[in-house]
Amino acid sequence: MNAYQTRVVGSHFSTATISVAIFSKVDDGWQLNAFQKYFTDSGLFGGEGKEGIGKFSVLKIDGQIYLSFKRPVAGNNGFNEGIEELYYVDGDLPCKILQNVFKHIYYQENGEKTTTQKIDTIKSTKEFIWTTNNLNNDKKYIFNRSYCQYNM
């Protein structure tokens, strides 16, 4: 290891601080639309390793654009979970950019019982998000315009 390399050492719940910037393409380059320093923190062992801080992706659901953030699966003594959050980026919802609008458990392990969920949506509506899991336990979340969040 040389002076320009850093190795993060800590417990499995040591997190890394994450800042986020949202850009849009314009004619002559890029335009900064939003920036949030200290957006969140996440990770295992300080965020070291593949997807050590989690996984970001962009989702388009019914014309709305969201930043999806899947936190890494973590826990203790056979009880582990992974949480996914959706942050609003663009569309016609009355939300602020980077507002957290949805949160759900995408992976849960309770001893020997494991549940994995994925996000699906009803076609042609911004009013609902459905989650399904391998136990066929569907959950319906309704968009609350007052709080700009999807709730059960």
In a domain, 72, yes or no: yes
pLDDT higher than threshold 60 for residue 4: no
In a domain, 67, yes or no: yes
In a domain, 35, yes or no: no
User: For residue 48, what pLDDT band results from cuts at 50, 70 and 90?
Assistant: low
In a domain, 104, yes or no: yes
pLDDT, the chain, mean: 78
In a domain, 101, yes or no: yes
pLDDT of residue 32: 93
Q: Please compute the mean of the pLDDT values over residues 11-15 and round it to a whole number.
A: 64
pLDDT of residue 124: 45
Report the percentage of the chain scoring pLDDT > 90. 10
- If one counts the domains in the chain, the total is 1
In a domain, 3, yes or no: no
pLDDT of residue 31: 93
Which among 142, 104, 151, 152 has a CA at the least distance from the CA of 122?
142
pLDDT higher than threshold 70 for residue 43: yes
Q: Tell me which amino acid residue 151 is.
A: N
> Distance between CA atoms of 38 and 88, rounded to whole angstroms?
17
In a domain, 47, yes or no: no
Domain hosting residue 138, numbered range = 56-151
Q: Tell me which amino acid residue 25 is.
A: K
> Distance between CA atoms of 56 and 88, rounded to whole angstroms?
13
pLDDT higher than threshold 80 for residue 56: yes
Q: Please compute the mean of the pLDDT values over residues 1-30 and round it to a whole number.
A: 72
Choose between 131 and 45: higher pLDDT: 131
User: For residue 1, what pLDDT band results from cuts at 50, 70 and 90?
Assistant: very low
Choose between 105 and 113: higher pLDDT: 105
State the pTM of this model. 0.77
In a domain, 91, yes or no: yes
